Every structure is written in C-alpha cells, then in structure tokens.
Amino acid sequence: MSPTTRAVRDVVLVDAARTPFGKAGATGIYAETRADDLVVAVFRELVRRNPALPLDRIDDVAVAATTQIGDQGLTLGRTAGLLAGFPQSVPGQSVDRMCAGALTAVTNLSSGIGVGAYDVVVAGGVEHMGRHPMGEGIDPNPRIIAERIVDPEALLMGKTAENLHDRFPHLTKARADEYALRSQEKTAKAYADGMIQPDLVPIAVRSAANGWGLATVDEPPRPETTLEGLAALKTPFRPHGRVTAGNAAGLNDGATGAILAAESVATELGLTAKARLVSFAFAGVAPEVMGVGPVPSTEKALARAGLTIDDIGLVEVNEAFAVQVLAFLDHFGIADDDPRVNQFGGAIAVGHPLASSGIRLMAYLARGFESRPDVRYGITTMCIGLGMGGTVIWENPHYDGKDA
C-alpha cells in the first residue's frame, strides 16, 4: 500500500490495570513508596496478565504525571519501562495534561497506532500527591495573572468548583451531596460484587513504624457516609460555600497502566480487545470554571464520530467535584441517578490521583462493556485543570446488536 492510500487502523484497549489508590500524606498507604515503583508494578502486572505479548513488539511507552519532578520525573515512560523489564529497544516518554495525563497518553499513542507508526504501546499515569503536592516547584509566568489572561482563582481547583456552583445556582450543595453519597454506595456495591478487584495490582508497602504490608484495596472509600454527615462538613474554599471534602475527590496517590494495539495486531498476537477507540476530543473553557470542560469535549467527540449522547450506553465521568459531574449531566439531559453513569462509583469514593485517573475510567468502562453486551458505545471523560476537558468514545467489542 502506498503512503497516499494508507488506511487508518482501528485501535483497541487490550488491558488496563491500576494500583489501589491511597490517601496522600504521612499516614497514607504509599507514604514511603516511590511513585515510579507504583508504575513499574502496574507494568509488570500488565505483562503477567498478557503473556501472548512479545515485549519487543512494544513500540513506545508514555507515562503521565502532573508534577514531573523527583520520582515522577526523568522521562518516566523510559525509566519505568526499563525497570519493568521491557527491552532496551523500547523507547519511552512523559506526558502532562494535568488530570487528563493518562487519558492523553492513551490518545497520543493511539493516534500513532492509527497512522501505522506503532503496533503495540503501553500508556500509564501516576500521581504521588503525598510526595509531590499539586503545584510543587512551579513558577507561573506572572503575566498570566497580571495581564488578566486567567482569573487568579483558576489556579485553585476547589475555587473553580465553587465558581461552577455560582454559574449554575440550581446545582445546589444538597444535590452535590446526594450525588457524592451515591458514588460511595456504588463503590461499596462494586466491591461487594467483585467488579473492582480484578484490575487492582497488589502493592508491597513499607512503613518505618509498622514494617511491610500489602495494599490490595482502595484506601479512600467511606462506605459509612450519610447525607447528614456530608451536610455538616466544612467548606474550605469559601465561607458558607458548597464544595466540601465529601462532595469532591481527595488528595491521592496511585498509578494506572494500559496496553493498546492495532486491532489487527491484537488479533495476530491473540490479545484481548476490551474496547475499540471510536473518537476523542479535547476542548478549552474559561480556566476559572474548568469543571465544565467535559461538555464541549464530549460534543466535539460525538460530532466527529457521527453520534449523539443518546447513542451512549455507558458513561465514565471523572468525579473531581460533584458539581462538575452535575453540570455535565444537566447539559446532556441526563438524570443525576441515571444508571448509565459511573455504574461502579467514581473518584469521590476511590480517589483521583490526578494524571493517573484517565486509565482508571477506561478500566471501569471495559468492565462495564464486558457485563453489558447490549451497550454499543461508551465514553470516558474528565475536566482538566487550567480550563480544559477531554473525552474518548469507545465501542464495545462484546456488543451483540441487541439494544437495551
């Protein structure tokens, strides 16, 4: 085939896995564990789970981190690949699009597969917010504020969520709390049903005080949450505000990873196909209301795919803040408790280690596809700091042609 007639190839998600997510800080499960070691553990598990993949067929590795210093720096895609045992011939790179880092690692590498530059790739994301708080070591150009390029509150994610409440006053604190409670309840049910555990990579953790242990489940969930308890929480970003620790994701540590391949190559090698990429899009919005970002990115992705929101049978939207999810649902006319949305719970319960979360959404969607052959299309979408949104539309390879 000549270069002028080259066809775009279909891309599939072969597999996705993650560490259990931990609470950031001195008492969190990963307080004495390196960020890069979390990535390495996930990569090794992906290799173990997919023995049909020859490691020398991996064409590139991309690992995302929002704070790319210390053990999250030094071109993490390359170093983590080497530490995971990938051949020296396998290159690597680092990616940063704040919360959508892992999502961007997937879309960047998938684009390479589509045009034939890659056959098989590994994407990942990590954030150790205990070791590297968001914004550590940054030096924003003063003109960004002085010349009013962005509102100063754009640099504080909690305040952007309060601004979203201001913009959409019908998105009340009570409604946000009710959504947050459902996230906790869905997560507890998903654990009880064994839907989350298969994609968790057990991590050996060290504590100077307690010795060695094994992290096997997410640390942040609070299944005992009640509406009364949520209503009583403080609003740290504004006096008498509406955003609390209960209706927002916490500060977390964790890593994710995924294998993607050209569908023809996956078939050749005998690899699974858990989801087929249909389209993706990123969009910018006013940075001070960054939570609305998934709306335009989803509209763009749907338009490019020739689909509407009515074609989407499963939705995985990152729960950075409950109000951000509610703004997305309202825009598309989806009920707060629609069963298509975050069926296994979300970041309000399990946590949001920034750059890693995009692949966590994909793992949840893949599990949903597996159990819902009546669903043809699903999306993974998230808001992104500094005023962006990112959305990927996926097709269910298990679709049986019988709509729900």
Q: What is the per-residue DSSP string for 360-374?
A: HHHHHHHHHHHH-TT
What sign results for the dihedral spanned by CA atoms 57, 59, 63, 69? Answer: positive
What does the pLDDT read at residue 152? 84
Whether 145 has a pLDDT exceeding 90, the answer reads no
Instruction: Check if 331 is active-site.
Output: no
Domain assignment of residue 304, given as a range: 3-131+250-394
Whether 323 has a pLDDT exceeding 90, the answer reads yes
Confidence class of residue 4 from pLDDT cuts 50, 70 and 90?
low
What does the pLDDT read at residue 403? 64
What does the pLDDT read at residue 404? 53
Options 128, 132, 165, 383, the catalytic residue: 383
Whether 156 has a pLDDT exceeding 90, the answer reads no
117 domain-assigned:
yes
Gap between the Cα atoms of 256 and 272, Å rounded: 18
48 domain-assigned:
yes
199 domain-assigned:
no
Gap between the Cα atoms of 224 and 188, Å rounded: 10
Options 99, 128, 132, 165, the catalytic residue: 99
By mean pLDDT, which of 117-126, 151-160, 256-265, 270-279 is the weakest?
Answer: 151-160
Gap between the Cα atoms of 106 and 356, Å rounded: 11
Q: What is the average pLDDT value for the chain, to the nearest integer?
A: 96
Tokens of 51: 């023995």
157 domain-assigned:
no
pTM of structure: 0.96
- Beta-bridge partner residues of 283: 389
Whether 268 has a pLDDT exceeding 80, the answer reads yes
244 domain-assigned:
no
What does the pLDDT read at residue 112? 98
Task: Compute the average pLDDT of residues 353-379.
Answer: 97
Options 128, 132, 165, 352, the catalytic residue: 352
Task: Compute the average pLDDT of residues 69-98.
Answer: 97
Cα-based torsion angle of the residue sequence 235, 245, 159, 161 in order, rounded to the nearest 10 degrees? -110
Tokens of 293: 């970002």
Instruction: Check if 99 is active-site.
Output: yes
Confidence class of residue 3 from pLDDT cuts 50, 70 and 90?
low
Instruction: Check if 352 is active-site.
Output: yes
- Domain of residue 270, CATH code: 3.40.47.10
C-alpha angle 368-58-129 in degrees, rounded to nearest 5:
60
141 domain-assigned:
no
| Count of structural domains within the chain | 1
- List, for residues 42-67, the tens digit of each pLDDT value: 999 999 999 999 999 999 999 999 99
176 domain-assigned:
no
Task: Compute the average pLDDT of residues 78-102.
Answer: 98
Task: Compute the average pLDDT of residues 269-295.
Answer: 97
Whether 267 has a pLDDT exceeding 90, the answer reads yes
77 domain-assigned:
yes
Gap between the Cα atoms of 254 and 355, Å rounded: 9
